[in-house]
């Protein structure tokens, strides 16, 4: 037997330690999957590998699919509470440039699919709107990434402020596009949406955004606990607090909603009839171009439907947006004829028509609503206040005439000058034309001017049998809750309906098969009013502006704090 070298045992132990030390980094690498400057919204080791990036981008694209299903016409509204989670998780696997690109791509895909109905009017406009709206998603993504990096414990609470601030900005910037807010998905959840009479639709959006950030944060912290070699050191308290806070706020919102619904004391208003002619947009454009035969047929269709309501003992009959051909203010014969119809039916008429104005050598139009009394006289006219860019006017056209070529139809309209209030029996009402009923600030203006209920005259025939018709109706529901206004909608191709001040859609025009889009017919019913005043009507978007202000002040504070720390570090190094 050979004797072993005295140092042989020490050498074996050193080799074993070296082997163990080589295995150890793989455990740390596994832990680092969600351990960048913090998982959900910051860069990570996974983000540095090609495989991690692919996985991150893949799960992010679950979000646009879920969001599309949340909104009408799918109406799978329960999905909104988790729809942003895949995207938020994916942000944890990329660096800041990746967060920007990823979020923009997700936003472009979502808005491109959501606004697909715009292709019927202008394919270029559809692309440009999707291109523009995607920047808001990109801003949310970069903001979430930075929040998680610099405020790893508080980001789940701050993210909803960011989301609400961006929704609010989107409702105002470049005349505004207040569509596809998270809160809009809940229009059927009456108890939940009653908080809109304080916070507006933004309050519901806040709850949905908080739920998503809380679930994403909880998932990441749970995952870190599972893979951490020392899970007792992984702090999960902020994520648990966020989930608990979300549940508490939703519960309080439901309690408040039940209480407000129980308080509701509806007061019967005038009896109203709706005429829905279902005039295809291609025929309407022919009539606008001057084809007298087509214009006459369009007018006759509405007259025949109007006389179907003769036995209903109505106070007011509605024709949708621009359903009277030509320029009504220049057509004395047609004015007289409509006045006689009102006298025969012993009911006031409210009809949509174009008004032509010549001023300082320039001719332009107003998108108007004319109110004929039961005696046949025009007593008031409302000219639309909030015009649709590239639909009713071309921004900067005076300076860049070539922009007019981007729109394949005449667009020389001007906004009106006042929020006109009409009267029907003992009630007062305002008119919102086309998309005006989706703008919170405008309907609040009508309410403050004394309106008891709102009439929406619209022509959604531009968008054929698409989900836009359902979405327009759904988004308008929030105006009723915010201001406690009854709503009646007269839509050319649908969806015509009556809505209570609680947001409940209680009467809808349908055909025998239950179809609501692209059908002709009439609907009559009584509008209901609610005398209660709301915080929202009095103070407007205080909640949304507060979210924006808190975010801006916090951001500036963090920036100043960072600069100060850098200055101190330089001083120490010197």
Annotated catalytic residue within 70, 115, 434, 497: 434
Q: Helices (DSSP H) in 45-200: which residue ranges?
A: 45-48, 50-60, 62-70, 85-91, 96-114, 123-150, 155-172, 190-193, 196-199
Report DSSP letters for 84-115, one per residue: THHHHHHHTTS-HHHHHHHHHHHHHHHHHHHT
Annotated catalytic residue within 167, 321, 436, 468: 321
Could you tell me if 544 and 164 are in contact, meaning their C-beta atoms sit under 8 angstroms apart? yes
Q: How far is residue 499 CA from its own chain's centroid? A: 19
- In the annotation, is 384 catalytic? yes
Could you tell me if 16 and 24 are in contact, meaning their C-beta atoms sit under 8 angstroms apart? no
Q: Helices (DSSP H) in 449-511: which residue ranges?
A: 468-483
- In the annotation, is 321 catalytic? yes
Q: Residue 366 pairs with which residues in a beta bridge?
A: 355
Could you tell me if 302 and 284 are in contact, meaning their C-beta atoms sit under 8 angstroms apart? no
Residues contacting 454, CB < 8 A, separation 6+: 429, 430, 431, 432, 437, 443, 446, 479, 480, 485, 486, 487, 488
Handedness of CA 187, 531, 544, 416 (dihedral sign): positive
Could you tell me if 517 and 523 are in contact, meaning their C-beta atoms sit under 8 angstroms apart? no
- In the annotation, is 292 catalytic? no
Closest among 284, 285, 273 to 319, alpha carbons compared: 273
Three-state SS at 271: strand
Cα–Cα dist 486/497, whole Å: 11
Closest among 11, 183, 37, 29 to 96, alpha carbons compared: 37
Give how far Cα 227 sits from Cα of 11, 220, 221, 224, 243, Å: 33, 11, 10, 5, 22
Annotated catalytic residue within 224, 271, 384, 468: 384
Q: Residue 351 pairs with which residues in a beta bridge?
A: 370
Closest among 312, 219, 220, 235 to 273, alpha carbons compared: 312
Annotated catalytic sites, by residue? 321, 384, 434
């Amino acid at each position: 037997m050979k004797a072993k070298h005295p140092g042989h045992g020490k050498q074996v132990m050193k080799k074993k330690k070296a082997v163990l030390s080589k295995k150890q980094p793989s455990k740390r690498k596994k832990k680092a999957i969600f351990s960048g400057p913090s998982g959900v919204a910051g860069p990570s080791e996974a983000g540095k590998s090609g495989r991690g990036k692919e996985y991150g981008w893949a799960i992010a694209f679950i979000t646009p699919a879920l969001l599309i299903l949340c909104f009408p016409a799918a109406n799978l509204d329960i999905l909104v509470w988790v729809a942003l989670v895949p995207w938020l998780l994916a942000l944890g696997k990329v660096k800041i440039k990746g967060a920007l690109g990823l979020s923009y791509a997700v936003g472009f895909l979502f808005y491109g699919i959501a606004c697909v109905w715009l292709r019927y009017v202008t394919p270029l406009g559809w692309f440009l709107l999707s291109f523009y709206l995607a920047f808001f998603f990109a801003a949310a993504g970069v903001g979430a990434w930075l929040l998680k990096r610099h405020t790893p414990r508080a980001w789940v609470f701050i993210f909803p402020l960011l989301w609400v601030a961006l929704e609010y900005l989107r409702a105002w910037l470049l005349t505004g596009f207040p569509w596809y807010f998270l809160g809009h998905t809940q229009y059927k959840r009456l108890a939940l949406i009653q908080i809109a009479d304080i916070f507006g639709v933004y309050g519901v959006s806040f709850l949905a955004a908080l739920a998503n950030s809380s679930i994403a944060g909880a998932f990441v912290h749970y995952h870190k606990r599972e893979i951490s070699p020392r899970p007792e050191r992984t702090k999960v308290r902020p994520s648990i607090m966020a989930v608990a806070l979300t549940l508490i706020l939703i519960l309080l919102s439901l309690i408040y909603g039940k209480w407000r619904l129980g308080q509701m004391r509806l007061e019967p208003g005038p009896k109203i009839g709706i005429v829905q002619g279902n005039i295809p947009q291609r025929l309407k454009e022919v009539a606008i171009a001057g084809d007298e035969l087509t214009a006459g047929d369009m007018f006759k269709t509405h007259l025949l439907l109007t006389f179907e309501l003769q036995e209903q003992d109505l106070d007011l009959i509605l024709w949708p947006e621009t359903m009277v051909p030509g320029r009504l203010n220049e057509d004395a014969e047609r004015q007289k004829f409509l006045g006689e119809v009102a006298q025969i039916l012993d009911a006031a008429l409210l009809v949509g028509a174009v008004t032509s104005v010549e001023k300082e050598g320039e001719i332009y139009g107003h998108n108007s609503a004319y109110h004929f009394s039961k005696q046949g006289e025009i007593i008031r006219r409302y000219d639309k206040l909030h015009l649709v860019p590239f639909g009713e006017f071309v921004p900067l056209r005076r300076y860049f005439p070539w922009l007019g070529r981007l729109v394949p139809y005449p667009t020389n309209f001007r906004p009106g000058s006042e929020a006109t209030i009409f009267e029907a029996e003992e009630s007062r009402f305002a008119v919102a034309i086309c998309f005006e009923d989706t703008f919170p600030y405008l309907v609040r203006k009508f309410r403050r001017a004394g309106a008891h209920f709102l009439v929406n005259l619209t022509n959604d025939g531009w968008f054929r049998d698409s989900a836009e018709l359902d979405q327009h109706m759904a988004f308008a529901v929030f105006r009723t809750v915010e201001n406690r206004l009854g709503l009646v909608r007269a839509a050319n191709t649908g969806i015509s309906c009556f809505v209570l001040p609680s947001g409940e859609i209680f009467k809808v025009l349908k055909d025998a098969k239950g179809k609501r889009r692209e059908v002709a017919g009439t609907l009559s019913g009584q509008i209901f009013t609610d005398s209660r005043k709301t915080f929202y009507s009095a103070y407007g978007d205080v909640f949304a502006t507060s979210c924006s202000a808190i975010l801006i002040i916090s951001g500036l504070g963090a920036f100043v704090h960072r600069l100060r720390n850098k200055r101190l570090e330089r001083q120490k190094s010197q």
